[in-house]
Amino acid sequence: MVSGEIMLLNPVCRTFITKLSPFVDGELRAAERVQVESHLAGCAECTHRVASLRAESALIRDGLELLTDEVDLRDFSKNVMARIARSRPPLLERWGVSYWWALLIAPIAVAATGVLIERTMLSRLYKLEAQGFDGKVKDPTDKQEIITKKAAAVARSYEDEPIPIGVYYEIDLPTYEDEVFRRIPDLKETPLVEQNAFERDVNPLLEAMR
Amino acid sequence: MAIDDLTLVKRSRDGDQTAFKLLVERYQRKVYSVALGMVRDREEARDIAQEAFTKVYKYLDHFQGDSSFYTWLYRITVNICIDFLRKHGSGRGEHVELDENVAMDSAEANIGALGSKLGTNPQKSLLRKELAAKIQEALEEVPEKHRAILLLREIEGMSYDDLARTLDIPKGTVMSRLFHARAKIQKVLSNYLELDESKSGIGSE
């Protein structure tokens, strides 16, 4: 047979030729397969066509295998994972939450997170105390004590959890008002705002300032 | 024992990146082969293959699991390749649209020349290597949709049912496209062999 030549098929071959490709692929039903096989037994041309289809399949497979075997794909998966990390969609998109919904949900989420953090902090504090850790700062003016306690809390917290919590002050830091009342005890009993402007006794204040 | 695809998909969905890396390693060469066969450029093929896996990961939650993972992966790969070819042009094959319902003409039925030229003689391995390069060129002559089906069949060995599912076409269309693609490849290759016959003496068994 001369290739490239336009061939006129005999009518019998014409009915079988489209079945040769699925025949080679093993995709014909049993009955059709038997028909093709019996035709092939008596038709040299179609037998030749089947050989050609098989040769072509092998060529395509071999050809692409040859080409891809030469390619170094060692870093392929690493590059894919890096690409994934870069192209990771925003959290909201991944959760399928629209930005309008996010806007609506945000305040609730913030409140819930606040509660969660508070609970977590308290439970962690209790946990550390149960383990015998003393996180109380006895003297809030003692910077060294604060530093030491914080360092100890950090060290202990990292043992099992990433957020260092465990220092709190036994004595609340006095407010400005507390400090004034401490220095002028009389002022607490008769606050300045309740005094008549003309009767306002500024002497204790002046005294304290001295 | 190798972990099946579906288990790896589930683990990947739960955030296990090692599981997804295993899936990539399992299919990377075949996905790359399909991409290479489609676009005929090594670097573009590598890029497309990586994009296919990235896309698969991104839409992992959309994977229903009613089809195999690999049919889904190949569908994505083929679609990226087709988009790429449309964007960049793929040579003559790109513009040819065959009507699959029309019976093949007598020229397309010219299947058979390849067998006699090639044979199965192992001494012709050099010729096979040379032909492999020619196969690449021949693939370009095949319309992209037909090329995709041929590559998936030959590289992955997909059944006609799987091909139909992967490319979302009827089984009859699979059969028809495969036939047309093969006829085209045969025609290109046998022309090449005919031209080279005098030089290489490959025509004789």
CATH number at residue B38: 1.10.1740.10
Mean pLDDT is lowest, of A65-69, A97-101, B138-142, B176-180, for A97-101
Q: Identify whether A93 is part of a domain.
A: no
- Specify the 3-state DSSP secondary structure of B106: coil
Is the same domain home to B85 and B17? yes
**Taking Cα atoms as reference points, which of B149, B150, B182, B144 lies closest to residue B164?**
B149
Is the same domain home to A54 and A124? no
Nearest by CB to residue B175, choosing from A3, A14, A22, is: A22
Contact A1 B135 (CB under 8 A): no
On chain B, the residues whose CB falls within 8 A of the CB of A6 are: 106-107, 110
Number of domains in chain A: 3
CATH number of the domain bearing residue B180: 1.10.10.10
CA dist A209 and B13 (Å) reads 69
Is the same domain home to B79 and B122? no
Is the same domain home to B163 and B180? yes
Residue of A nearest to B43 (CA): A71
* Final residue in a domain of this structure, among B90, B120, B140: B90
- What range does the domain containing A38 cover? 1-88
Nearest by CB to residue A21, choosing from B58, B178, B187, is: B178
Is the same domain home to A80 and A107? no
Do the beta carbons of residue B189 and residue B103 sit within 8 Å? no
On chain A, the residues whose CB falls within 8 A of the CB of B135 are: 59-60, 63-64
- What range does the domain containing B78 cover? 5-90
Nearest by CB to residue B106, choosing from A6, A20, A62, is: A6
Is the same domain home to B98 and B159? yes
Interface test with B, best of A67, A72, A93 (most B CBs within 10 A): A67
Rg over alpha carbons for chain A, rounded to the nearest Å, is: 44
Is the same domain home to A62 and A104? no
CA dist B24 and B53 (Å) reads 7
What's the pLDDT at B173?
92
Residue of A nearest to B119 (CA): A55
Q: Kindly report, residue by residue over A40-93, the tens digit of the pLDDT.
A: 999 998 998 888 888 888 878 877 777 777 788 888 999 999 888 877 666 666
B110 touches chain A (CB under 8 A): yes
Please report the residues numbered 63 through 92 in chain B whose beta carbons come closer than 8 angstroms to any beta carbon of chain A.
none
Enter the DSSP assignment of B67: S
Is the same domain home to B80 and B160? no
What's the pLDDT at B200?
35
Q: Which residues of B132-144 are buried (b: 16+ CB within 10 A; e: fewer)?
A: bebbbebbbbbbb
A104 touches chain B (CB under 8 A): no
**Taking Cα atoms as reference points, which of B82, B171, B185 lies closest to residue B134?**
B185
B150 touches chain A (CB under 8 A): yes
**Taking Cα atoms as reference points, which of A57, A73, A63, A83 lies closest to residue B40?**
A63
Instruction: Judge whether residue A129 has pLDDT over 90.
Output: no
Is the same domain home to B74 and B129? no
Number of domains in chain B: 2
Contacts of A4-7 with C-beta under 8 Å, sequence gap 24+, read A4/B110, A4/B113, A4/B187, A4/B190, A4/B191, A4/B194, A5/B110, A6/B106, A6/B107, A6/B110, A7/B106, A7/B107, A7/B109, A7/B110
CA dist A160 and A184 (Å) reads 49
Q: How far is A147 from chain B (nearest CA, A)?
A: 39
Q: Identify whether A94 is part of a domain.
A: no
* Final residue in a domain of this structure, among A88, A120, A135: A88
* Residues in Cβ contact with B35 at an 8 Å cutoff, skipping those fewer than 6 apart: B44, B45, B46, B48, B49, B52, B77, B80, B81
Is the same domain home to A146 and A191? no
Q: Identify whether A82 is part of a domain.
A: yes
Is the same domain home to A1 and A84? yes
Nearest by CB to residue A52, choosing from B61, B112, B159, is: B112
Is the same domain home to B48 and B135? no
Is the same domain home to B44 and B124? no
Q: Kindly report, residue by residue over A140-185, the tens digit of the pLDDT.
A: 677 777 777 777 766 665 555 555 555 555 555 566 666 667 777 7
Residue of B nearest to A55 (CA): B115
Is the same domain home to A7 and A78? yes
Is the same domain home to A79 and A121? no
Cα atoms found within 13 Å of the Cα of residue A53, Cβ hemisphere only: 27
Is the same domain home to A84 and A118? no
Instruction: Judge whether residue B90 has pLDDT over 70.
Output: no
* Final residue in a domain of this structure, among B90, B116, B146: B90
Q: Identify whether B205 is part of a domain.
A: no
* Final residue in a domain of this structure, among B69, B90, B111: B90
CA dist B71 and B159 (Å) reads 11
- Please list the residues that pair with A137 across neighbouring strands: A169
Is the same domain home to A130 and A82? no
